[in-house]
Amino acid sequence: MFMEGIQMVFDKQIETAARADMEKLQLSRLKDCVGRVYKNVPLYKEKFDRAGLKPADIKSLNDIRNIPFTLKDDLRDTYPFGMFAVPQKQIVRVHASSGTTGKPTVVGYTKNDLDMWSSVMARLCCAGGVTPEDTAQVAFGYGLFTGAFGLHYSLEKIGAMVIPASSGNTEKQIMLMKDFGSTVLVSTPSYALYISEVMEKMGIDPKRDLKLKYGLFGAEASTEHMRDQLEKRLNIIATENYGLSEIIGPGVSGECTHKCGMHINEDHFLVEIIDPVSGEVLKDGEQGEVVITAMSKEALPILRYRTKDISYLIPEKCTCGRTLKRMAKITGRSDDMLTIRGVNVFPSQIETVLLSSQEVEPHYEIIVRRENWLDQLEVLVELADASLLDNYSKLESLQNTIRAELKTILSLDAKVTLVQPSTLKRFQGKAQRVTDLREE
Amino acid sequence: MIWNKTYECMDRDKMTSLQSERLVKLVNYSYENVPYYKKKMDDIGIKPSDIKGIEDLNKLPFTVKDDLRDNYPYDAFAVPIGDIVRIHASSGTTGKPTVVGYTRNDIDTWSELMARTFAASGVTKDSIVQIAYGYGLFTGGLGAHYGAEKIGASVIPISGGNTKKQITVLQDFGSHAIACTPSYALFLSEVLEEMGIDPRKDLNLKYGIFGAEPWSHEMRAQIEQKLGIRATDIYGLSEIIGPGVATECEIQDGLHITEDHFVPEIINPETGDVLSEGSEGELVFTTLTKEGIPVIRYRTRDITSLNYKKCECGRTAVRMKKVMGRSDDMLIIRGVNVFPTQIESVLVSITEIEPHYLLVVDRVNNLDTLEIWVEMSDNLFSDEVRRVEQVRAKIKDEVQSLLGLTAKIKLVEPKTIERSTGKAKRVLDKRKI
């Protein structure tokens, strides 16, 4: 049943389930989820009541289309724990990701949720080639973001040897790869390319000097061209995985080593593709916005969450033998969110920081560049008082203050450039504040 | 709360038997699976069968940090790499880090021991715990994380740094407990004060779990007062397991060692002789149950003493005195042994200054000099010169009294001494010895 190149299938029964069995499981989980959120999450009871909908109305998988969408704003409005479906005492983990304003988006997990998370991500790691014999270097930043923990626990579940390298300190990362014989690299694709450049400068040849075999990449969009580069430069098989903390973190879907679409863990996550304007559900193969229902989560079950990511579904069975439906690489977003060094950034977060300062005007530009594969964020903003430009120390102090505020909110280091009043673009209609100079 | 009464309150005779049984197994295991231990034992003519119980512990050779460095990266492991599920590394002071590896059982043991630590500090499964130790290769973050998770607490893995964010989380998520270095806790309390936030009124903080660097009783008192919490000292080192080797209880009179897993000894650091109960000397540990990287008689370089009396908390586990310094961060100034924390005790008791200090040691005309830089409080900074002089003289006298040394005291502006989010750097030794 399994084609060449398939190392290990973590959960054979689910990953090769017949469509009818999968749909039966999905329906039972969907019904259970709808009942739970109606009972325990005030926001969902309200949404249902307003739509004249009751949990018992969900009788078939198609009935999901009657359920109102969930938006990022819903999580923002219930910050921090207002959407949890269980009492705080049952929460064993809290994570957070970027919110659209000053406060982060908060997610929580029960013990069962953590077990599920590590299992679904373990499936994807195995699909990407990992076995218990591997040594995996996790070069995502460990902390409130879900990336590092998602991979860490799943790799540990598989029984691989986990090196919790966290992010940064590139020369040390390379030393670890060399000395510890890492066979798997986990990071953003752009950081992996950056690492490959530093390796080249250091005279290290991955083929000759390292034992790398697989790369599990995520947290930002990437192209086929980048994958080719990664595979050639690091001598690995590079696969992409997808997730978002509102749903679970990494683990929603991921490529197998045949690299033709990302298998969705659809026994836990129902994926629909909608027209972002009308909200109508589209057919398999049609491109639109990804909407996900996390049916089995206990702490934060989510119905029809609008991710703003653009993709399409691939219904055919994959050559690897898995029957889990695939989704295509994310090609863009239907909102203005940026991903910078794997971190989600909303221009409105930046705006919130700028608006809170009296010394700058709300006229600003955001420029994103990629230099040597590392994303650089620059914020240009107009001073309220031009005379400040003559006072270097005051200027620098204001720059540093804004920079520190941005770092607190974004967890990113931005370059802040203060400019003369009235020098930045003005707009007639919607402001186009962002210039993304990155080509891929 | 006592997490594991069976082991934490075990009858002393039973504990000794258990340790002996485990030690015999451990010695055989290490001899058979770790080449450098086989060599060490062969070199001194000891066979595993010579070890019948913990009374024979002192027949075994010591292990020092260099032994682990010399076996970098994996030669000190007792199992094949396939059985290792986790690697951690501590910063070596020079060159390569010291690498430690854990099997799945080791991770489970570690989580159990950290659960004991958190339980002793006041944390329960209903607590919200903010873990501000750095996560990554350092054992602090992940060690604390797995322990709090084992208890069933709500874990916020915030890692170190980004102080404004730490405070936002303390306020918005209502954390009951925070785990970080004591110097960072003190720093947090300052920022809270600056921001006009009163921990007692505006936060839910009740417990602090502090370790990874030595800190004085006086500093504890200050942290407890400023944050309105019970501050628990915890101890560990990655060569042994990471945090989870010892923890204070609510009595705060010594740290209970998890001795069903680690047997402590106190030795004379010069001669290697084992010292009697209550004597102060270098702490040595033997791991009894670790599979990945068993360690025999590891010289920690930490200075402390042991107390076998039963504690009022109900635990029978031996206590070690709060570690006030290491035999290697110990300074010798004009022949006098000086630990930075001794000076800290003096400084913390003086209200007109902040406990942010730097010891600058130099040698001028062949004589050691000690300069103590310490920050003035805002009040003192704006006070009369005469007042500042009085405080300077007071510090000088107290240091003289305590150490028998004359130090030059330099009072600096508030906020000029570098803060740390991790271990504080307290000493600048300019002598080229």
Q: Tell me the pLDDT band of A47, cut-offs 50, 70 and 90.
A: very high
Does A241 reside within a domain? yes
Q: What pTM was computed for the model?
A: 0.88
pLDDT per position as a tens digit, A317-332: 899 999 999 999 998 8
Domain boundary among A286, A306, A335: A335
Say what the pLDDT of residue A362 is: 81
Please list every residue in chain B whose beta carbon sits closer than 8 Å to the beta carbon of residue A79: 172
Question: Cα(first)–Cα(last) distance of chain B, in Å?
Answer: 48
Residue A4 lies in a domain: no
Q: Is B199 on the interface with A (CB under 8 A)?
A: no
Q: Is the pLDDT of residue A1 over 70?
A: no
Q: According to the model, what pLDDT value does residue A169 have?
A: 87
| Boundary-marking domain end, from A310, A335, A360 | A335
Q: Give me the number of domains chain A comprises.
A: 2
Give the residue among A110, A122, A120 at the shortest CA–CA distance from B155: A110
- Same domain membership, residue A60 and residue A154: yes
Residue A251 has pLDDT above 80, yes or no: yes
How many CB atoms are located within 10 Å of the residue B45 CB?
8
Q: Is residue A120 part of a domain?
A: yes
Query: Which residues of chain B make contact with A149, given a CB cutoff of 8 A?
Result: 157
A154-186: pLDDT as tens digits:
999 999 999 999 998 898 899 999 999 999 999
- Min Cα distance B153 → chain A (Å) is 5
Q: Which residues of B touch A161 (CB under 8 A)?
A: 81-82, 84-87, 101
Query: At how many degrees (to 10) do helices B340-348 and B217-227 cross?
Result: 50
CA distance B208 to B122: 9
Question: How far, in Å, CA of A315 to CA of A181, rounded?
Answer: 38
A265 and A186, same structural domain?
yes
Q: Is A177 part of any domain?
A: yes
pLDDT at A436: 92
Indicate whether A160 and A198 sit together in one domain: yes
Residue A7, domain member (yes or no): no
* Phi, psi of A286, rounded to the nearest 5 degrees: -90, 135
Which residues in chain B touch residue A408, judged by CB atoms under 8 angstroms apart?
162, 164-165, 168
Residue-wise pLDDT tens digits, B149-159: 999 999 999 99
> Do residue A323 and residue A400 come from a single domain?
no
- Coil, helix or strand for A313? strand
What domains lie within chain B, and their CATH numbers? 1-327 (3.40.50.12780), 331-429 (3.30.300.30)
| pLDDT tens digits, one per residue of B292-335 | 999 999 999 999 999 999 999 999 999 999 998 777 777 878 77
Q: What is the Cα–Cα distance from A84 to A302, expressed in whole angstroms?
A: 10
Residue A103 sits at the chain B interface (C-beta within 8 Å): yes
A144 to B153: CB separation less than 8 angstroms, yes or no: no
B104 interfacial to chain A (CB closer than 8 Å): yes
Inter-chain contact A135–B81, Cβ cutoff 8 Å?
yes
Count contacts between A and B (CB, < 8 Å).
95
Over residues A342-391, the pLDDT tens digits come to 899 999 899 989 988 889 988 899 999 999 889 999 999 999 988 888 88
ipTM of the complex: 0.90
Does A42 fall in a domain? yes
The answer on A386 and A331 residing in a single domain is: no
Is residue A294 in some structural domain?
A: yes
CB contact at 8 A, A365 and A299? no
- What CATH number did the domain enclosing A268 receive? 3.40.50.12780
Q: Cβ neighbours of residue A86 under 8 Å, at least 6 residues apart?
A: A40, A110, A298, A299
Given a cut of 70, the residues of chain B with pLDDT beneath it are 91-95, 432-433
SS3 for A380? strand
Helix boundaries (H) for A84-169:
111-127, 146-158
pLDDT recorded at residue B331: 81
**Highest averaged pLDDT of the listed ranges A110-114, A221-225, B376-380:** A110-114
Q: Which two tokens stand for residue B246?
A: 């010892």
**8 Å CB contact of B154 and A179:** no
Whether residues A372 and A225 share a domain: the answer is: no
Residues A297, A381, single domain; the answer is no
pLDDT of residue B409: 94
Say whether both A424 and A321 belong to one domain: no
Query: Nearest to residue A69, comparing CAs of A85, A48, A52?
Result: A48
What CATH number did the domain enclosing A389 receive?
3.30.300.30
Please report which confidence band the pLDDT of residue A5 belongs to, taking 50, 70 and 90 as the band edges: low
**What is the predicted pLDDT for the residue at B354?**
85
Query: Would you say residue A38 has pLDDT above 70?
Result: yes
Q: Is A2 part of a structural domain of the chain?
A: no
The answer on pLDDT for A402 being more than 60 is yes
Tell me how far apart the alpha carbons of residues B395 and B379 are, in angstroms, rounded to a whole number: 17
Q: What is the pLDDT of residue A440?
A: 59
Q: Are residues A330 and A407 in the same domain?
A: no
A408 and B162: CB-CB below 8 Å? Answer: yes
CB–CB of A163 and B137 under 8 A?
Answer: yes
Average pLDDT, chain A: 94
**Residue A381 sits in the same domain as residue A270:** no
Kindly report the nearest CA distance between residue B167 and chain A, in angstroms. Answer: 11
A80 touches chain B (CB under 8 A): yes
Same domain, A88 and A218: yes
Q: Does B172 touch chain A (CB under 8 A)?
A: yes
A194 and A166, same structural domain?
yes
pLDDT value of position B415: 87
Between residues 115 and 154 of chain A, which touch chain B (CB distance below 8 Å)? Answer: 132-133, 135, 141-144, 148-149
Q: A335, A361, A383: which is the final residue of a domain?
A: A335
What domain range includes position A355? 343-436
